[in-house]
Amino acid sequence: MGKTGTISIYTKEQGAALGDLFGIFFEDINHAADGGLYAEMVRNRSFEFDPIDRHDYDGLTAWEKVELGEGKSSIQVEQERPIHPRNLHYVAVEIIEPGEGVGIRNLGFNSGLLYREGETYTFSMYARRSASFDEPVAVRLEGIDGTVYGEAKVSVTSEWKKYEVVVASSATDFCGRLAVMTKGNGTLYLDMVSLFPTKTFRSRPGGLRDDIATMLADLKPKFMRFPGGCLIHDGSLNAGDRDSMYRWKNTIGPVEQRPPRKNNWRYHQTLGLGYFEYFQFCEDIGAKPIPVLPAGSDPHSQRYVPIDELGPWIDDALDLIEFANGDASTDWGSLRALLGHPEPFNLEYIGIGNEEIGEQFFERYTYFHQAIKAKYPDIQIINSSGPFAAGGEYERGWRSARDNGSDFVDEHYYQSPDWFLAHYHRYDSFSADDPKVFLGEYASWGNTYYNALVEAAFMTGLEKNAHAVGLACYAPLLCNVDYVNWKPDLIWFNNHQVFGTANYYVQQLFMHHQGDHLLRIDTEGFAAPAQPAESKERIEGKLLVGANLNEVVYRDIRLINHETGEVKTLTDKVEIGETEEDRRLSSEFGRKAVVGETGLKSYSLSMKAIRKNGSRGFIMYFGYQDEANYVMWEAGSHSNQESLVHAGSKGYRGCLTQSLFSPETGVEYDLEVRVDGRRIRTYVDGVLINDTEHIAPVIEPLYCSASIEEATGDVIVKAVNVQDADVQAQLQFADLHSDNLLIDVYDMSGYALDEMNSFEAPEKIVTKYKSMQTSGNQVGYEFPKHSVTVFRVRKG
Ligand code: AHR
């Protein structure tokens, strides 16, 4: 153990307000809503699944035919007499032979529907039939082998009508099925076949899954950003299209009238969890709502609403504010009242756009901003800075925010743990006079204890820079283990279990113990920690060229030593191609070929490059150690629009910087990567495209922050020790005069860095609590290696 250092907390020296700093971000990705937080147990309840949503879907996805005894039937999806024009499809069960009953059976999400012994379930459906009106329709909670756990019967007439009945289950089964069947003759028509646990969060009919919602509530987030994410800006511009961009007006009112939607994460979205429910949930858990709206701009498919047609999109934003805050005399406020919430939802923030790039978005943003500020000057508007932590589009976002007077800039980054350590001081130089940072999405790549530890260290940096950072939320929030679009995620679940990751417990610590104002905190006298082996002076490694879903010819590949002026031709020509199949079999960034190696401090790798086919661009590695550790330039990546410099570190990857560049097939480009120490610049035809520094990670003795909570007067101190050694410290609470300090200590420690929570061991990594009592205003403490510690200091 090193020498004892001192942490001085100046309890009377307040700094920036912490406001609403730590919150959550909900997006319907990984089946976070349907098959997740939204408690509907029936999958494809309205027979609206369609290959547009996903190639292997159809109207009968998740349904199977039931034919009991000698029963025979034919089932098909029809649309001639729908229950509502926005909910076109329904199923027709033609009874050929009634046998012991014919009908349909739903398979649910995951392994099936979850039934618990003694609990009740609310079944509902729209139904009509053509004959045999005296024959009841039976609704059965079943096991996979047909064992009936609960049954109800309803009589159905010739006109569409909604039926609702509560059924109890006599058994617990995670692989349950729901059957709806009848006898007689003619045809039985069904739509909106639905089953909810009666016990939902706050007991709301058609509400939220209690266990998942409770996990979210237990975080005590200050805000909730929703509903996306890419979810909000991917899609067509016509609100009526199935793959339309997310339009909030489609998501309110009776669920059977909400149109089916293609979720951009390649599944079907019912919109049963809509804007009213989002607002209500925020209110329930005490989180301020932060809706994010599309700006008629889809950078992925490069679709943009013409400026002179932006009106309805801007109205969507204005109407949403009225829906949330307007009184009953307003059109949208009265609709909210009609839906059961006469009080306002007190909306304070609104986001326009998600991860936007390109001038087209920023041109449109101004119209939104001006219209919103003109009508609602107090609403705080969040602008966008693209999907990456730095580069041309990131800077364009910040310029736009400054020019428009945006209140916040939404920053997103998913990075390696090393990147988070290297960028601990990222916000130290940000000005309090600028728009504030909304760190709307971030995560280090992984759910291990190490990821959580590093995120905790970084979060003390967010806190300490509360003058510049106003809001921050981890992403993504939820993941159904059987429908993974993206990982890591904060909370994992299946149909009957849910667990928080190590990252969850870190987020929870920071949310529970945020405080209202920063306190000055100084550290001194700690021994210098052991530092990572990685060179802080240079980027060395092999040089490679590659292809990514295309065929590329590189010519005249040279290495230029800028210290000596020596120019070395590495190779005259490399032809390289990568097909879809190669992609599947090879590493993430395509096929590649080694062309040289360098240990130089200042050098350029230059070449001529031409794309013969395919839609992406060129790949050059210039600090390649192995598949887990590299630096790489991808000139022409996502949608053939971007020039990215990536760094891979210990198997985690991250994008250091991004700018726009769209290579054309058949055009030869002069490409150059220039490396000076850890600075990287890329040029196309002599024009600077990327300019970044690959900062090497640095370990600090302790990552600390301090704050004060107004309501209690408690002083809160956070300390994160990422070192592989315990750290001994003396904490001094200046100006805290008390004979007796009561200290609540919340601690995460004693875990191996690669440990994770799981369904089998959901609470392997959690926060532990102990209390301490001291006299005087000093206390000695040993921060265990790899620990996150929060002190809550109360006067005795
Ligand atoms: O959080 C997952 C996705 O990451 C979000 O939808 C998007 O904004 C980002 O690219």
Cα 791 to middle of ligand 1, angstroms: 34
Encode burial over 395-426: b for 16+ CB neighbours within 10 A, e otherwise.
ebbbebbeebebbbbbbbbbbbbbbbbbbbeb
Residue closest by Cα to atom 1 of ligand 1: 476
Instruction: Grade residue 672 by pLDDT with cuts at 50, 70 and 90.
Output: very high
CA 305 – ligand 1 centroid, Å: 22
Instruction: Read off the pLDDT of each residue in 439-443 and give the average, rounded to a whole number.
Output: 98
Mutational pocket test of ligand 1: of 25, 26, 27, 298, the residue with most ligand atoms within 8 Å of the beta carbon: 27
Closest CA to 114 of 212, 41, 202, 193: 41
Number of the ligand 1 atom closest to the C-alpha atom of 25: 1
Going from the Cα of 414 to the center of ligand 1, the distance in angstroms, rounded, reads: 9
Mutation probe of ligand 1 site: the residue of 232, 354, 477 with most atoms within 8 A of C-beta: 354
Please give the model's pTM, rounded to 2 decimal places.
Answer: 0.97
SS3 readout for 637-688: CHHHCEEEEEEEECCEEEEEEEEECCCCCCCEEEEEEEEECCEEEEEECCEE
| Residue type at position 544 | L
The Å distance, Cα 500 to ligand 1 centre, comes to 20
Q: Which of 363-372, 496-505, 530-539, 779-788 has the lowest mean pLDDT?
A: 530-539
| pLDDT greater at residue 455 or residue 534 | 455
Question: Cα–Cα–Cα angle for 424, 655, 479, nearest 5°?
Answer: 85
- Per-residue CA distances from 276 to 42, 250, 280 (Å): 21, 11, 6
- The residues that are catalytic are 355
Kind and range of the H or E element at 463?
helix 449-464
Which atom of ligand 1 is found nearest the CA of 231? 6
pLDDT in tens, 189-242: 999 999 999 999 999 999 999 999 999 999 999 999 999 999 999 999 999 999
Nearest CA to ligand 1 atom 6: 229
229 Cα: distance to centroid of ligand 1 (angstroms): 5
User: What is the average per-residue pLDDT within 498-520?
Assistant: 98
Q: Are 636 and 661 in contact (CB under 8 A)?
A: yes
Among protein residues, the one with the nearest Cα to ligand 1's atom 2 is 476
pLDDT in tens, 30-67: 999 999 999 999 999 999 999 999 999 999 999 999 99
The tens digit of pLDDT for each residue in 722-746 reads 999 999 999 999 998 877 889 999 9
- Could you identify the atom of ligand 1 that is nearest to the CA of residue 230? 6
Q: Is the pLDDT of residue 431 over 80?
A: yes
How does residue 796 score in pLDDT terms, banded at 50, 70 and 90?
low
The answer to whether 583 touches 590, Cβ cutoff 8 Å, is yes
The Å distance, Cα 454 to ligand 1 centre, comes to 21
pLDDT at position 542: 97
Tell me the CA–centroid distance for residue 246 and ligand 1, in Å: 15
- C-alpha torsion sign, points 196, 200, 202, 208: negative
CA of 230 to the centre of ligand 1 (A): 5
Q: Is 461 helix (H, G, I), strand (E, B) or coil?
A: helix
How high is the pLDDT of residue 288?
Answer: 99
Task: Reply yes or no on whether the pLDDT at 312 is more than 70.
Answer: yes
Residue 661 scores a pLDDT above 90: yes
Closest-lying ligand 1 atom to the alpha carbon of residue 387:
10
- Indicate the pLDDT class of residue 536, thresholds 50, 70 and 90: confident
pLDDT for 750: 98
Atom of ligand 1 nearest to the CA of 27: 6
Residue 64 phi, psi dihedral angles, 5° rounding:
-135, 160
The 8 Å CB, 24+ separation contacts for 58-61 are 59/89, 59/91, 60/91
Taking a C-beta distance cutoff of 8 angstroms, is the pair 468, 401 a contact? no
pLDDT bin (cut points 50, 70, 90) of residue 1 is low
Average pLDDT over residues 582-611: 86
Q: Looking at residues 694-719, what average pLDDT do you find?
A: 97
User: Distances from the Cα of 390 to the Cαs of 112, 433, 644, 733, in angstroms?
Assistant: 44, 20, 10, 38
Minimum CA distance residue for ligand 1 atom 8: 229
Residue 535 pLDDT > 90:
no
**Tens of pLDDT along 71-84?**
999 999 999 999 99
Listed range (93-97, 127-131, 133-137, 537-541) with the worst mean pLDDT? 537-541
Closest CA to 239 of 254, 227, 226, 251: 251
Q: How far is the CA of 352 from the centre of ligand 1 (A)?
A: 15
**CA distances, 436 to each of 148, 354, 410, 428, 516 (Å):** 57, 16, 9, 13, 17
Q: How confident is the model at residue 578 (pLDDT cuts 50, 70, 90)?
A: confident
User: Which ligand 1 atom sits closest to the C-alpha of 441?
Assistant: 1
Q: What is the mean pLDDT of residues 359-378?
A: 98
* Rama region for 63: left / alpha / beta (φ>0; ψ in -120 to 50; rest): beta
pLDDT above 90: percentage of residues in the chain: 94
Cα 484 to ligand 1 centre (Å): 13
Among 169, 165, 60, residue whose Cα is nearest residue 114 = 169
- Residue 414 Cα: closest atom of ligand 1: 4
Spatial distance between the Cα atoms of 103 and 96, rounded to a whole number of angstroms: 11
> Candidates 24, 29, 269, 298: which one to mutate for ligand 1, based on the most atoms within 8 Å of Cβ?
29
Question: What average pLDDT score do residues 5-16 get?
Answer: 97
Asked whether the predicted pLDDT for residue 588 surpasses 80, the reply is no
Q: Is the pLDDT of residue 587 over 60?
A: no
CB neighbour list of residue 510: distance below 8 Å, 6 or more residues apart: 22, 456, 459, 463, 718
Pocket test for ligand 1, best of 441, 473, 644 (most atoms within 8 A of CB): 441
DSSP H or E segment with residue 457: helix 449-464
Single-letter residue type at 237: L
Q: Which positions ≥6 away from 334 have C-beta within 8 Å? A: 326, 328
pLDDT band of residue 589 (cuts 50, 70, 90) is low
Is the per-residue pLDDT at 16 higher than 90? yes
Mutate to test the pocket of ligand 1, among 293, 412, 477, 658 (most ligand atoms within 8 A of CB): 412
Contact in structure between 590 and 546 (CB atoms under 8 Å): yes
**Stretch 410-427: mean pLDDT, rounded?**
97
Residue minimizing CA distance to atom 3 of ligand 1:
229
Pocket test for ligand 1, best of 355, 361, 394 (most atoms within 8 A of CB): 355
Is it the case that residue 585 has pLDDT exceeding 70?
Answer: no
Distance 216 CA to ligand 1 centre (A): 19
Residue nearest to atom 5 of ligand 1 (CA): 229
**What is the number of the ligand 1 atom nearest to the C-alpha of 485?**
2
| Arithmetic mean of pLDDT over the chain | 96
> 575: closest CA among 555, 596, 553?
553
Taking only the tens place, the pLDDT of each residue in 140-180 is 999 999 999 999 999 999 999 999 999 999 999 999 999 99
Q: Show the ligand 1 pocket: residues with CB < 6 angstroms.
A: 27, 29, 228-230, 354-355, 387, 412, 441, 475-476, 486
Q: Which atom of ligand 1 is nearest to the CA of 354?
A: 8
Q: Does residue 455 have a pLDDT over 80?
A: yes
Return the ligand 1 atom nearest residue 486 CA. Answer: 2
- DSSP string for residues in 279-345: HHHHHHHT-EEEEEE--SEETTTTEE--GGG-HHHHHHHHHHHHHHH--TTSHHHHHHHHTT--S--
The helix (run of H) or strand (run of E) holding residue 421 is helix 417-422
**Residue 543 CA to ligand 1 centre (angstroms):** 31
What is each CA distance from 403 to 88, 356, 396, 399, 577, in whole angstroms? 46, 16, 10, 6, 44
The encoded tokens of residue 14 equal 């307040």
CA distance 771 to 391: 46
How high is the pLDDT of residue 740? 82
Cα(201)–Cα(524) distance, integer angstroms: 48
> Which pLDDT belongs to residue 738?
78
Contacts of 241 (CB under 8 A, 6+ apart): 235
* Cβ–Cβ under 8 Å, residues 379 and 349: yes
